[in-house]
Structure 1
Amino acid sequence: MPPLPLRVDYDAKKTRAAARQTKDGPQARRLLAVAAIYDGATRSEAAVIGGVTLQIVRDWVEKFNTHGRMG
């Protein structure tokens, strides 16, 4: 199964800016992992950044696509 594409109204710069603005540590970690994917990192690399499994990264991408930074 190919990886889920990321939404097109965000990019790495906007996602990192959102990570800097949040006071929620886990949310910042999720956003930084997604920003890495925007920059061309593999989902495996994003999982390492987030300290989670590939399935969790997929869940994060799915929620990010649906709800934006609040996902």
Structure 2
Amino acid sequence: MRWRIVDLCQWLFDEFRLAVSPQTLGRELREMGYRKLSARPRHHAQAEGAIDDFKKAFPPACRKSRATKASASIR
């Protein structure tokens, strides 16, 4: 599970009544070895399967000929 720093600050306050600024918490987490992860941005109107439609797919003949050439060069 991934947490945003502001959510973690709120959780610390709710659980322990400990008020910590996001900057301070981020600094402490970095010192502990944690790194910020960010998701790859996506357009808000992007369809779920749209990316798969644009991926290049080689025809089966090209894949077969590459495999044949590779095995022939090994012999």
TM-score by length of 2: 0.27
Structure with higher helix content: 1
Which one has a bigger Cα radius of gyration?
2
Higher relative contact order (CA 8 A, sep 6+): 1
